Amino acid sequence: MAKLGINVDHVATLRQARGGNEPDPVTAAALAELGGADGIVIHLREDRRHIQERDLRLLKAMVKTKLNMEMAATDEMVHIAMDVQPDLVTLVPEQRAELTTENGVDVIGHKHDFEKIIKTLHGSGISVSLFIDPSLDQVKAAHKVDADTVEIHTGPFANAQNPEFERTELDAIANCVRLAYKLHLGISVGHGLNYHNVTMLTQLTEIEEYNIGHSIIARAILVGFDRAVGEMKTLLV
C-alpha cells in the first residue's frame, strides 16, 4: 500500500490570516499522524507566508513518522535544512506572485546547481527529492544529479478541463513513474490531488507515496483530521 504524506501548510495559512497562534500546524500534524498519516509535509517558503521556522523546528521534534521539508534551492534554505535535519528535503521552484507551486524544478537547465545542493545535503545525511513536471527528460536528469526521489507534479492532471487532456496528463505521469522505477528512484506524486481524482493514479503500483494537502485540510475542517486522513488512506489501497 502506498504511503500518505499530509501537507499542513494550509493550516498555517489560516493562522497567518489573523496573525495569531491558531490553528497550530504542529497540532494538526499530530492529529494527522493519529489519523494514519505516514508523513508530514511542509513548505518553508522564502517569504514565510505560512509555515514559519518555529513550526519547522517544533515539527522536527514531535513528528513520529517522516518530516518532508519542501524548499527552494537557495543557500539560506540549505543552511536551515542542514541545521534542522528533516528526514527528506524536496526541492521545489518558488515565485513570489504564485498562490501555490505552479510547476516543477528545471533539473536539465540547472544541472550543476542541483548536483552541488544534493551533494551538500547528502553530506549532512539528508535524502533529497526533486519536484518535477511529468517529463521523461527531467526524470533522467534527476537520476543523473543523484536525487534519491522524484515527486511527479500532478497539477496539470488534477486541473484538466476535459477527459482527453486528463488522459494525456495521466499517460505522461505513468511514463515518468515507470522510468523512475527502472532507474531505482523513489517515486511520489503530489499537487492538486483530491478524493475524486487520486483513484485514477492508484493503478500505478510503482508510486510509493502520495503527498496531499489542500483537499485533506479542507475536509478536515468539516469532519476532523482522523476521518479526513482515514478516508484518503482507504482510497490508496
CB 133 within 8 A of CB 146: no
The residue from 10, 33, 70, 94 that is catalytic is 70
Check if 70 is active-site. Answer: yes
| Lowest-confidence pick of 94-98, 171-175, 199-203 | 94-98
Supply the pLDDT for residue 94. Answer: 85
Check if 206 is active-site. Answer: no
Name all domains of the chain by residue range, CATH numbers in brackets: 3-235 (3.20.20.70)
The residue from 50, 143, 153, 191 that is catalytic is 191
236 pLDDT more than 70: yes
- pLDDT band of residue 97 (cuts 50, 70, 90) is low
The residue from 43, 50, 143, 153 that is catalytic is 43
Type of residue numbered 161: Q
Burial class (CB in 10 A: 0-12, 13-18, 19+), 103: middle
Give bridge partners of residue 132 from the DSSP assignment: 152
Q: What are the backbone angles phi and psi of residue 148, rounded to the nearest 5°?
A: -85, -35
Per-residue pLDDT tens digits for 40-76: 999 999 999 999 999 999 999 999 999 999 999 999 9
Instruction: For the chain, state the CA radius of gyration.
Output: 17
Give bridge partners of residue 151 from the DSSP assignment: 131, 188
Check if 191 is active-site. Answer: yes
Supply the pLDDT for residue 1. Answer: 84
Q: What are the backbone angles phi and psi of residue 65, rounded to the nearest 5°?
A: -100, -95
